[in-house]
Structure 1
Amino acid sequence: MIAKPGVQEKVLLHLLDYADFKEKVEVPFSLSQMGIANAVAIARSNVPRAISGLRDQGLLVERQAHVQGVSRKRKAYFLTDSGIIAAEETWARLREFQFRCINIDGESVSTSLGAAHEVLPFTMRPVDIIRYLDDNLILDARSLSEDLIERDLSKQVEKQLVTSLGDLPRLRHFFGR
């Protein structure tokens, strides 16, 4: 059985989806520290530590770039050619990673990362599937939607104000006025 992917493996899978942006002036939010943190479910402050090993191995580079939706230049991270090869090797190994998926009908189905698209009601990137797995390696697709995943990926720390009631945490009980 293949072990649950670690942070560096998840970073490689995430950045592989954005390999085409290496030479671009303006890059997606997903290539910033906060975008990587959202994708692999770690704190933004832990991103430099998580990627330092990858940078030391020559698998990725960091540079200042205009990030979409952000007013100033930010550090953005890109896979090198050897990083793309390493990420593809990681995907070749992890595509056999087994987990259980509870589909919209409530049926529990065993599948792998590579075959998950056959079971899921909508397309999810492998790194997103890994992020939503619980400790028992179960993905409950009943509680997910494409909008929820997109919102989770695009959360920015700079947004201190609530712009939508959907961004508020869910309350069990309300006490007050």
Structure 2
Amino acid sequence: MIYTDYAGPSCPTPPKGGYYEQNRFTDGDGGWYSLGGGGYVGHGCNGVFASVPMSGDPAKDANSRVMWWWEPGTSAKSCQLSVYVPKGPNDRDVAGHPTTYHVLTDPFDRTTKYDSFTINQAGHRAQWVNAGSFAVKQGKIGIKLLDRGDDWSAGWNLAHHAAAQMKVTCRT
């Protein structure tokens, strides 16, 4: 192991890394909202997480995105990624079924995507989920949460994706 770090809402910003919420908007229960607990507590993170509204279509994205990124350096060849799936006061706060993530060199440049994964957040609340091991390119790794998802059918009214803490452990 040559590098390990956390990123997410309420976590210390990693060196040359970070966490960013893109196109955040408020619209009552239909918009973004933050919850003060239910996320990971430790390593400087205090459990805050964001609930991100779904696009309404499981095959199409709207404009809400969340990005996490790290720069472990060029000696890192791969990073094991763990995603913390929080638990909110309401099931709709953490309801990705599934939540889609892209793996990129630069989380702000969609043309740098080289992998993806999904997590069934609704089935993994209040736990770490191993998302897999991914290559490090140009000494960097970034993750982008997409907002595609069904938030209107029976049982999923106003469902949101959760954006919480992530951890990378990188190796040569």
Structure with larger RCO (C-alpha < 8 A, sep 6+): 2
After TM superposition, the score normalised by the length of structure 2 is: 0.29
After TM superposition, the score normalised by the length of structure 1 is: 0.28
Whichever of the two has the greater Rg, that structure is 1
Larger helix percent: 1
